[in-house]
Every structure is written in structure tokens, then in C-alpha cells.
């Protein structure tokens, strides 16, 4: 499936571009960026054309992958949806709930497939963990997403440092908690989005879970979730992953979604996560 890549920043260069170019399910038809020089450089890296006109790129592809800051994603996603292109979207969908709804409305109106890069959903060890969670009659859980990403490096800038870790990595951790324990219907947050944030989540089942988020800790990155139940315990360690298998599943799932398949990492779920994040941020800023 030929895919147009929108964006040429660090994530597009390091992850989205090489992942989709590797195939065999997908290939990059071309690269577009708001900064043509960056698009040209990434296009050379991937061995594909660069484009300065979006409509011309749309003519060359069946789907679009967006790897760009959340402030710019709603407009570009809506434009691609109107052009009839399936979408591979970044998390968070937008900077705010209104922007996220713009994407969801555009996807539903156009009737195109859309998949969100909630990357742990494509990690093969997640499935047996979720199956185990279903067997142990969960009572509660505790999870964390801890890293030093804000201390330096390619992601220690822009919207991440302006808004903090909850908007950046919160979608990943909240998604894991929901996958294991069901829909989150209430959140209570304390702490600092630029330091340490603790979140108590109430799930529709009545189960309670705790989530810790920090991107300013001088430590190796870790994402984990422990679930405890009447019939045992289940532990998910996000560091245990086969990157090739993860990439292969993501590509295969995106092609399936582009052809009409459903997927838990859809835009309606991503909008729900954005609403939870808005609630958490409002509590932290009081």
C-alpha cells in the first residue's frame, strides 16, 4: 500500500518513515513537510520523492501517515480524509479536545479508515498479558511510564516541554490501563505535569488503578502495568518487545484498517483518551 508521509521531524525520521518504508505491506510514496528542506532530506534518506504540494502527493498514495506536532495534525488529517485517504495518526490527536473532535468528525464524514499510533497495542507480548488479565478476576492495578526524555535529546523541545508529560505519554499509559481493566470513567490527578504526576483511575467495572507519569527522571525509559486479582496477577513490561514483530503487526493492521477493518486503536478511542487527559491537566493546574 503506497503511503504519503506528512512530516519530517525526529519521529518521522526515526520511526514512522523507516517503519513504513520497510514493508512488505507498505511503502512510502513520498514525503511532504511544512519545511520543504526537511522533506527533501528525509526523502533522500528513504529513497523516495519529496513533494511541496499536498494534493499532488495525495494523487500518488492510498493512505497518509501523519508524523507532526499535535497542533498541526487536525487540519492535515481532515484534509487527507476529505481526499479519501486512510490515516495513520499520532497520539495525542491534537492539543485539545476540540482539535481531536475535528479529526474524528472528518474521519466519520469521509468514511475512511484511521489507526492511531498507540504503539504498545502492536507489541506481541500485550495479547497474552490481556488474556491473563481476563482470567484473574482483577481487583486493581498499578502502572507507570517513566523516562528522561525531557532532560535532553530530540524530544526535549516544543509542545512536549510546554505542556508536559501527561499530554505526551499519557495516551500510552491510559490506553494500557483501559486495555487491561476496561474503560476509565473517572480520574483523580495530583502532582506536576513537568515533574511527577500520579493518577487514580476508576474503571467502569468498579476496579481502581493507579498510574504514574514522569519524563524528567534520570533513568532508562520504562512502561509497565501490574494487575492483581482474586485468581492471580499479571505483569506487562513494555521493555520486553520484538521491534521487528511490532513493526510488522502495525503495518499489517494499518493495511487492514485502510480496507475497512475495525481496531481498538481507533480515533473514537483516541478522542476518549484526549478527554481524560484534559480532565487530568485541569486538575493539575488548579
Q: Are residues 211 and 96 in contact, defined by beta-carbon separation less than 8 angstroms?
A: no
Residue-wise pLDDT for 66-90, tens only, equals: 999 999 999 999 999 999 999 999 9
Residue-wise pLDDT for 13-40, tens only, equals: 999 999 999 999 999 999 999 999 999 9
Query: What number of CA atoms fall less than 13 Å from residue 113's CA on the CB side?
Result: 20
Give 132's pLDDT tier (boundaries 50, 70, 90).
very high
Q: What pLDDT score does 198 carry?
A: 98
Q: Is the pLDDT of residue 48 over 90?
A: yes
Residue-wise pLDDT for 223-280, tens only, equals: 999 999 999 999 999 998 889 999 999 999 999 999 999 999 999 999 999 999 999 9
Omega cis (within 30) before 161? no
Q: Is the pLDDT of residue 286 over 80?
A: no
d(CA 31, CA 28): 8
Where does 10-62 show beta strands of DSSP type E? 27-32, 50-51
Given CA atoms 166, 180, 230, 144 in this order, what sign does their dihedral have?
negative
- Distances in Å between the Cα of 232 and the Cα atoms of 108, 173, 208, 226 are 41, 22, 16, 11
Which cell goes with 76? 492535515
For the whole model, what pTM was predicted?
0.96
Query: Bridge partners of 213?
Result: 145, 197
For residue 153, the SS3 value is coil
d(CA 286, CA 282): 7
Residue-wise pLDDT for 175-215, tens only, equals: 999 999 999 999 999 999 999 999 999 999 999 999 999 99
Average pLDDT over residues 143-151: 97
Domains belonging to the chain, first-starting first, are 2-119+247-265 (3.40.50.720), 125-240 (3.30.360.10)
Give 112's pLDDT tier (boundaries 50, 70, 90).
very high
Average pLDDT over residues 43-61: 97
Amino acid at each position: 500500500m503506497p503511503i504519503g508521509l506528512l512530516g519530517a521531524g525526529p519521529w518521522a525520521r526515526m520511526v514512522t518513515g523507516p517503519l513504513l518504508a520497510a514493508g512488505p505491506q507498505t511503502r512510502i510514496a513520498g514525503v511532504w513537510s511544512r519545511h520543504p528542506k526537511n522533506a527533501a532530506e528525509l526523502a533522500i534518506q528513504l529513497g523516495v520523492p519529496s513533494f511541496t504540494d499536498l494534493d499532488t502527493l495525495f494523487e500518488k498514495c492510498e493512505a497518509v501517515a501523519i508524523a507532526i506536532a499535535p497542533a498541526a495534525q487536525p487540519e492535515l488529517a481532515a484534509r487527507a480524509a476529505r481526499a479519501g485517504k486512510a490515516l495513520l495518526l499520532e497520539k495525542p490527536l491534537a492539543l485539545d479536545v476540540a482539535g481531536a473532535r475535528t479529526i474524528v468528525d472528518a474521519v466519520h464524514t469521509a468514511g475512511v479508515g484511521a489507526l492511531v499510533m498507540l504503539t504498545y497495542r502492536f507489541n506481541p507480548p500485550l495479547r497474552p498479558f490481556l488474556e491473563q488479565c481476563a482470567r484473574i478476576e482483577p481487583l486493581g492495578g498499578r502502572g507507570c511510564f517513566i523516562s528522561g526524555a525531557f532532560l535532553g535529546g530530540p524530544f526535549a523541545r516544543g509542545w512536549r516541554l510546554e505542556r508536559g508529560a501527561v499530554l505526551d505519554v499519557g495516551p500510552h499509559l491510559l490506553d494500557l490501563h483501559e486495555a487491561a481493566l476496561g474503560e476509565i470513567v473517572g480520574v483523580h490527578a495530583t502532582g506536576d505535569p513537568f515533574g511527577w504526576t500520579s493518577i487514580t483511575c476508576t474503571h467502569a467495572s468498579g476496579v481502581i488503578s493507579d498510574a504514574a507519569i514522569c519524563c524528567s527522571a534520570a533513568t532508562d525509559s520504562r512502561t509497565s502495568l501490574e494487575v492483581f486479582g482474586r485468581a492471580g496477577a499479571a505483569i506487562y513490561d513494555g521493555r520486553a518487545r520484538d521491534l521487528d514483530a511490532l513493526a510488522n503487526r502495525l503495518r499489517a493492521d494499518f493495511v487492514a484498517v485502510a480496507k475497512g477493518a475495525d481496531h481498538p486503536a481507533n480515533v473514537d478511542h483516541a478522542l476518549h483518551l484526549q478527554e481524560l487527559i484534559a480532565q487530568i491537566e485541569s486538575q493539575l493546574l488548579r
